[in-house]
Structure 1
Amino acid sequence: MFNIQGNKVAWIYNWWQLPEGPGQGPVGTPFWEYVPMLHSDRPDHTNTWFQNVEKCAGVNPAGAIHVLSFNEPDQCGNGGSCMRDYVQAANAHKTWVQPLVDKYGSRLYVGTPAVTNGVQAPDGGPMGLPWLREFMKHCDGCKFDYVVIHWYDSSRNVEYFKKQLQDAWNEFQKPIWITEFGATGRVDEQLGFLHEVLLWMDA
């Protein structure tokens, strides 16, 4: 539906390393870049990581390559990769993502792990931007070109959404990718939320 010339949708991803699957197209599409994600450091993800990134990179040998690191490592459940130990997560990133920098050089653009908009976990440990702050401290020598965040809350909390983005910018001073966000509420409230925040982000 969106894979047409002139469309504003330029890239796609799906928590996995390739777009293959029911209803999904091949790696190479005319107007989309597929962005592979290393969802977690589980062997069933890491075992295929390097070869699948190479497949994606091979579609346009001269073009840029973007990759996404771990999905919600700061939480367990709801799609989170449950990598709450940020030291372990930093070491895993160094093992599986950082080597791509040596291979692809300036063509490669690397995203941080995608964190939730949480602050503190039930065990008292950090979540969200505080978790990412600790991760970045321990991922010394890692290359990051953009910060990846998620946000879920009420559609009435537009200012909270804006603050989360502003806080991410103030903290890390890097472009921000919001790869997941959702607002609860009635349909008219959700539409109002989207209308305001999408225009605000575009501006």
Structure 2
Amino acid sequence: MTYTYLLLAIFLLPEANGLAAKRGIAYNNNNPSGNAVYANLFKGHTKVSWAYDWGYPSWNLDSSFEFVPMLWGLPSGADPDWTAAVQTPGTVNILGFNEPDLTYDASSNIIPEKAAAGYLTYMQPFAGTVRIGSPSVLWNNVGSSSGGSYNTATWTEYFLGNCTGCHLDFAAIHYYQDCVTPDGQNGAVWFEGNVTNAHDVLGLPIWITEFECYGSEQQQIAFLEQALPWLDSQGYVERYAYFGAFPQYLINADGTALSDLGSSYASI
């Protein structure tokens, strides 16, 4: 029995899960091939180790990447496909609800109490066998939220207050902001401050599962040149994924190769 617990403890260590390779890819199968073709363009770039597609399955993601399944929203009932995805050999980490703190159409938009109940039902049964992330929230959100006129930090506080039986191994956050803020501040510095604040408030290792600065390609590359070495140097930042593996983002307009931005993301 002692040997079994020792193996489990080793399995759950970040170093044992390849978390030292922090860089990842956010992708989907909305392309002419209907699979992970855009994400697979990063194959061979050793700084990119993992990927997720806001759901499951992986749509033929290359086996050189760790696929991280996500339960995007609150199921209406038992979800055997989710259970099967989590129990697929090689699954080490799982992600939860996507932007439940927001109310727009592409967010999962769940009030904290229901999100907590959903976590207890659909995520917590896997505690101790995989590493569980918190709901993926837009940490720099300062506007209204799904539960009323409060921001993401308050949504997260309410979620944690209702999820007292939850075991969370890391916190997942999103960040979207200008490469240069309207008052002329360096966007990378602003980003670093947001990530630091999330860690200070939540007290968990951080995954930034979506982030982007708004600006020209050259402005974005300059942002990454500052932000990526900083992320790699922060021990509490386990993983991150710049948005995203799509044409005219990290992929060129033809969908045939990495864009200049994608090449920079893969190599900086």
What TM-score results when the alignment is normalised by the length of structure 1?
A: 0.82
1:62-90 Cα offsets, whole Å, 9 max, x none, are xx61000100001122531011x101110
Q: Alignment partner of 1:76: what SS?
A: coil
Which protein shows a greater Rg?
Answer: 2
Matched, 1:9 2:39: no
Structure-1 residue corresponding to 2:57 = 18
- Please tell me the root mean square deviation across aligned C-alpha atoms, in Å: 2.1
Q: Alignment partner of 2:72: what SS?
A: coil
Which structure has more relative contact order (CA 8 Å, sep 6+)? It is 2
Runs of at least 5 residues in structure 2 that lack an aligned partner in the other structure: 1-40, 181-186, 234-268
- 1:118, distance to aligned residue in structure 2 (A): 0.7
Alpha-carbon contact 1:119-1:130 (below 8 Å) kept: no
Structure-1 residue corresponding to 2:188 = 158
Query: Which of the numbers 68, 83, 87 marks the counterpart of 1:50?
Result: 83
Q: Give, in whole Å, the separation in 1 of the partners of 2:100 and 2:164.
A: 18
Q: Give, in whole Å, the separation in 1 of the partners of 2:230 and 2:222.
A: 12
Q: Give, in whole Å, the separation in 1 of the partners of 2:208 and 2:52.
A: 12
Q: Give, in whole Å, the separation in 1 of the partners of 2:85 and 2:95.
A: 13
- 1:124, distance to aligned residue in structure 2 (A): 4.5
Alpha-carbon contact 1:152-1:181 (below 8 Å) kept: yes
Q: Which amino acid aligns with 1:34?
A: F
Q: Give, in whole Å, the separation in 2 of the partners of 1:199 and 1:187.
A: 19
Q: Give, in whole Å, the separation in 1 of the partners of 2:230 and 2:142.
A: 24
Matched, 1:110 2:143: no
Q: Give, in whole Å, the separation in 2 of the partners of 1:127 and 1:100.
A: 29
- 1:42, distance to aligned residue in structure 2 (A): 3.4
Alpha-carbon contact 1:115-1:127 (below 8 Å) kept: no
Alpha-carbon contact 1:69-1:113 (below 8 Å) kept: yes
- 1:36, distance to aligned residue in structure 2 (A): 0.5
Alpha-carbon contact 1:69-1:97 (below 8 Å) kept: yes
Query: Which of the numbers 87, 90, 99 marks the counterpart of 1:72?
Result: 99
Q: Alignment partner of 2:156: what SS?
A: helix
Q: Give, in whole Å, the separation in 2 of the partners of 1:100 and 1:150.
A: 24
- 1:41, distance to aligned residue in structure 2 (A): 0.6
Query: Which of the numbers 214, 227, 247 marks the counterpart of 1:184?
Result: 214
Q: Alignment partner of 1:197: what SS?
A: helix
**Structure 1 or 2: more helix by fraction:** 1
Matched, 1:193 2:243: no
Q: Which amino acid aligns with 1:109?
A: R
Structure-1 residue corresponding to 2:142 = 119
What does residue range 23-102 of structure 1 map to in structure 2 within 5 Å?
A: 25=60, 29-43=62-76, 46=79, 48-55=81-88, 58=89, 60=90, 65-77=92-104, 79-83=106-110, 85-101=111-127
Runs of at least 5 residues in structure 1 that lack an aligned partner in the other structure: none
Q: Give, in whole Å, the separation in 2 of the partners of 1:145 and 1:14.
A: 20
Q: Give, in whole Å, the separation in 2 of the partners of 1:52 and 1:8.
A: 25
What TM-score results when the alignment is normalised by the length of structure 2?
A: 0.63
Alpha-carbon contact 1:39-1:45 (below 8 Å) kept: no
- In the comparison of the two structures, how many residue pairs are matched? 185
Q: Alignment partner of 1:92: what SS?
A: helix
Alpha-carbon contact 1:86-1:134 (below 8 Å) kept: yes
